[in-house]
Chains A and B, each alone.
Chain A
Amino acid sequence: DAKTTQPTSMDCAEGRAANLPCNHSTISGNEYVYWYRQIHSQGPQYIIHGLKNNETNEMASLIITEDRKSSTLILPHATLRDTAVYYCIVTNAGNMLTFGGGTRLMVKP
C-alpha cells in the first residue's frame, strides 16, 4: 500500500469549512484513497473514498488532484462533533487498512 503523509493537527472554527490535506505520491493506478475518522474512545468510522474523480456524500467531499498524488477532505460546515482524528489511507478495495498517525482536527466554538 502507498504511504500517506498528513499534518499532525489542525484547528477549525465551528461553522467553517475544514480542509484536511493528504499526500500520497506513491499511489498506484488501482489504489483508492479512503478517509476514516476516529472520535475519542470509538472505533474508526468510514467517511468517503475515491479513485480519480472528486466525490461528495452527506458527510464530506473528497478532492483528488489530477496526478492523484494528493487529496483534500472537505467538511463543509464543521461542528464540534467533527472533532476527531482523521486518517487518509491508500489501498485496494477489500484490503486491510494501513493507518498512519492521522490529523487531529479540533473544531473550536
Chain B
Amino acid sequence: DTGVSQNPRHKITKRGQNVTFRCDPISEHNRLYWYRQTLGQGPEFLTYFQNEAQLEKSRLLSDRFSAERPKGSFSTLEIQRTEQGDSAMYLCASSLDKSSYEQYFGPGTRLTVT
C-alpha cells in the first residue's frame, strides 16, 4: 500500500483556465476528503465522499469547483475559470469508513494561478 497519491504535484496555470486534480485514495477506503490550504493557514475542508456519493460541501466550494468520485475509487477536483485567489495547496485524504478515527493525507497538489 503506497498511501494516498495526488497528481499533479504542482500546477501553474493562467487566470481563466480550467484545471483538474486527481486523488487516488488508499484502496478499500470508502471515505475521501478534499481540503485546501493557503500559505500560513491550516487546511480548510472543501468536500467529502462516501463511496461515490458526495455527502457534504463547504461554502468555500463555489460553483466554479466540482468534485467527482465516479466509481468510488479515485476522485477528481476541477476548478473552472481559475482566479488568483484559487492559488493554494489542495489536499486529499481518505479513511476506511464513517467510523474511522484516522484520515490519511496525500502530499497535495500546489496550484499557482498567474
Q: Which residues of A line the B interface, CB within 8 A? A: 32, 34, 42-46, 49, 85, 87, 93-94, 96-102
Q: Is B79 an interface residue (CB 8 A)?
A: no
Cα–Cα, bound, A98→B44 (Å) = 7
When the two chains form their complex, are residues B101 and A97 in contact, meaning their CB atoms are under 8 A apart? no
Interface contacts beyond A93-B100, A94-B100: sample of 11 additional A-B pairs, CB < 8 Å, sorted by A: A43-B93, A43-B105, A45-B105, A46-B103, A49-B101, A93-B98, A93-B99, A96-B45, A96-B48, A97-B43, A101-B42
Q: Is B95 an interface residue (CB 8 A)?
A: yes
When the two chains form their complex, are residues A44 and B99 in contact, meaning their CB atoms are under 8 A apart? no
Counted as pairs of residues, one from A and one from B, with CB atoms less than 8 Å apart, the total is: 53
A34 (CB) vs chain B CBs: closest residue: B101
Q: Is B106 an interface residue (CB 8 A)?
A: yes
A100 to chain B, nearest CB (A): 6
When the two chains form their complex, are residues B91 and A44 in contact, meaning their CB atoms are under 8 A apart? yes
Residues of B with C-beta under 8 A to A94: 31, 95, 97-100
A61 to chain B, nearest CB (A): 16
Contacts A43-B108, A93-B101, A94-B95; is A99 near B43 (CB within 8 Å)? yes
When the two chains form their complex, are residues B101 and A96 in contact, meaning their CB atoms are under 8 A apart? no
Set B56, B95, B98, B106: member contacting A43, Cβ < 8 A? B106
Cα–Cα, bound, A39→B42 (Å) = 12
